[in-house]
Amino acid sequence: MQEKDLAQVNIICIRSFEASIASSLPCEGVLTFTKIAKSSAFLERMQQDNTILVAVDNHQIFGVIELKAGHHIAMFFVDPDFQNKGVGRALFSAILSHVRTDILTVSASLSSIDIYKKYGFEYAGEVGESAGLVYQPMELKLSSSE
């Protein structure tokens, strides 16, 4: 991801969040997510130990995935108009080469649990809540022998 992508990435995150997650959360969670998805917040995280990849074609961004500190998927969104077309699978496959640990973690929104299960993630604890965001801890054990 580059700085010029920030506005498009923000729009994709908000559109996808509103389509699949926002209605299940309290107002606090919606506000929390809005802050996390702001262009300025992404810019700040780009300057940290995060890898952020975008799916792009002809200058149009269709999805984003953010890997925090080489081990945790922090953001993973595909534009609702492009879901179920392989964009998420391509982003997920691309981020795997940036993982620096044997276990990849995610705090999955409840509506995305089935997607993460398709990628091989398993439950890693009880449903939690932070600043109004409700999530299911999940992990994927990675191994070079698989």
72: β partners: 68, 105
Alpha carbons within 13 angstroms on the beta-carbon side of residue 48 total 13
Q: Which residues of 24-39 are buried (b: 16+ CB within 10 A; e: fewer)?
A: ebeeebbebbeebbeb
pLDDT at residue 143 greater than cutoff 90: no
Measure the CA–CA gap between 34 and 14, rounded to whole angstroms: 7
Percent of the chain with pLDDT over 70: 98
In the predicted model, what is the mean pLDDT of the chain? 95
CA nearest to 24, candidates 111, 108, 115, 107: 111
pLDDT at position 36: 97
pLDDT at residue 140 greater than cutoff 60: yes
64: β partners: 54, 77
Beta strand extents in 17-113 (DSSP E only): 50-57, 60-68, 72-78, 103-109
CA 101 to chain centre: 18
| pLDDT tens digits for range 92-137 | 999 999 999 999 999 999 999 999 999 999 999 999 999 999 999 9
pLDDT at residue 146 greater than cutoff 60: no
Class of domain 3-104: alpha beta
Q: How far apart are the first and last CA of the chain?
A: 29
pLDDT at residue 39 greater than cutoff 60: yes
Task: Enter the pTM of the model.
Answer: 0.94
Alpha carbons within 13 angstroms on the beta-carbon side of residue 66 total 23
